[in-house]
Amino acid sequence: MPELNVQERTSLLLPITEAAGLTTDQALARLGSGPGGLTGEEAERRLAEIGPNAVRTHRANGWAVLGRQFASPILILLLITAGLSLFLGDATNSIVIGVILLVSVGLGFTNEFRAERASEALHDRVTHRAVVLRDGATTEVDVTALVPGDVVHLSLGAIIPADIRLLATGNLLCDESILTGESLPAAKDPAAVQAGAALADLSSCAFMGTVIQSGNCTGVVVATGGRAEFGRIALGLGERQPQTEFQLGLKRFSFLLLQVAIGLTTLIFIANLLLQRPLIESLLFSLAIAVGITPQLLPAVVSTSLATGTRQLAKRKVLVKRLVCIEDLGDMDILVTDKTGTLTEGKISFTAALPATAELPGDTLLTLGLLATEADYTDAKLTSAGQNPLDAALWDSPGASGFDPGRYERLDMIGFDHQRRRTTVLVREAGGPPQLVTKGAPEDVLALCGPVAPAVQALLDEQFDAGSRVVAVATRPADGPGTLTAADERGLTLAGFLVFLDRPKANARQSLDRLEELGISVKIATGDNAKVAEKVCADLDVISGGTLTGADIDALSDADLAASARTATIFARVSPEQKARIIALLRQSGGSVGFMGDGVNDALALHKADIGISVDSATDVAKDAADVVLLDKDLGVLAEGVMEGRRIFANTIKYVLMGTSSNFGNMFSAAVASVVLSFLPMLPGQILLNNLLYDSGQLAIPGDRVDKEQLRAPSHWNIAFIRRFMFLFGPISSLFDFATFALMLFVFDAVPGEFRAGWFIESIATQTLIIFAIRTRRVPFVRSRPSAGLITASLGVVALGILLPLSPLQGVLGFDPLPVPFFLALLGMIVLYLVLVEIAKAWFFARAAQQVPTVPVRRRADTHHIARRAFRFSIPVKVPRITAGPGGHRRPGRRRTERIRSASPEQGTMRRSGG
Active centre residues (catalytic): 338
- H helices within 377-418, ranges in order? 389-396
Which residues sit opposite 425 in a β-bridge?
A: 413, 437
Cβ pair 182, 899 in contact under 8 A:
no
DSSP conformation class of 55: S
Helices 719-742 & 820-846 angle (0-180, nearest 10): 150
The β-bridge partners of 899 are: 911
Cα–Cα distance list, 423 to 463, 608, 840 (Å): 21, 28, 67
Note whether 54 and 225 are within 8 A (CB). Answer: yes
First-last CA distance in the chain? 39
DSSP annotation of 744 reads I
State the burial class of residue 232 (Cβ atoms within 10 Å of its Cβ: 0-12, 13-18, 19+). Answer: buried
Diameter of the chain measured on Cα atoms: 114
What is the β-pairing status of strands 611-615 and 628-630?
A: parallel
For the stretch 604-620, what's the b/e string if a residue is b when 16 or more beta carbons lie within 10 angstroms of its beta carbon?
bbbbbbbbbbbbbbbbb
H helices then E strands: how many in the chain? 34, 25
CB 706 within 8 A of CB 646: yes
Strand 593-596 versus strand 493-501 pairing type? unpaired
227 neighbors 304 (Cβ within 8 angstroms): no
Tell me how far CA of residue 509 lies from CA of 504, 518, 522, 542, 797, in angstroms: 9, 14, 12, 8, 46
* Helix (H), strand (E) at residue 30: helix 24-30
CB 312 within 8 A of CB 625: no
Query: What SS3 state is found at 841?
Result: helix
Give me the phi and psi of 159, to 5 degrees please.
Answer: -90, 125
CA distance 607 to 432: 48
Distance CA 758, CA 455 (A): 92
Burial of 345 (0-12, 13-18, 19+ CB in 10 A): middle
Q: How far apart are CA 202 and CA 141, in angstroms?
A: 27
| Residues in CB range of 130: below 8 A, 6 or more apart | 140, 141, 142, 143, 146, 152, 154, 161
Please state, in angstroms and rounded to a whole number, the distance separating the CA atoms of residues 610 and 858: 7
Estimate the crossing angle of helix 635-676 against helix 752-769, to 10 degrees. Answer: 160
* DSSP calls for 505-527: PTTHHHHHHHHHHTTPEEEEEES
Q: Is 561 helix (H, G, I), strand (E, B) or coil?
A: helix
Q: How far apart are the C-alpha atoms of 441 and 644, rounded to whole Å?
A: 40
Pairing of strands 547-549, 570-572: parallel
Length in residues, the chain: 915
CA distances 124 to 596, 623, 687, Å, are 22, 14, 47
Q: Which helix (H) or strand (E) holds 279?
A: helix 279-292
Q: Are 801 and 693 in contact (CB under 8 A)?
A: yes
Rg over alpha carbons for the chain, rounded to the nearest Å, is 33
- 285 close to 677: Cβ distance less than 8 angstroms: no
